[in-house]
Amino acid sequence: MPSCSNDDSKPFDETELKSLYKEIQKMADSQTCEDSDFWSFTAFGSKPCGGPNSYIAYSTKIDVTLFLAKVEQYNSGVADYNRRNGIISDCAMVAKPTGLICKEGKPVFTYSGNANY
């Protein structure tokens, strides 16, 4: 049966996903947020029903190409893991941030209507 992916690598197990998650978090947390012009965000994780689990902020001063590649690898790995293991969730949509600000050295997402979380 043909695969939907051209990638012949083996699926991630839970331990490998946790390790990749930690690598991504370490990269994301490696810079202090002082100027939001140097920060961005991307979808992170994968809900079993589709869509991201959350969003993750990152400094544009890190190796963005490597960071986004790791995030994509993680997102795909989680989606595959969920599918293979019959994982279910609430299927609630996660609100996409409209931007972010720096607060006490950390990035904080902003949402339409200026509600900060």
Vertex 111: Cα angle to 110 and 113 (nearest 5): 115
Which of these ranges, 42-46, 74-78, 89-93, 113-117, has the smallest mean pLDDT?
A: 113-117
Vertex 23: Cα angle to 11 and 3 (nearest 5): 20
Taking CA atoms, 43 is separated from 39, 64, 85, 97, in Å, by 14, 14, 22, 10
Check whether 1 has a pLDDT greater than 80: no
Tell me the pTM: 0.84
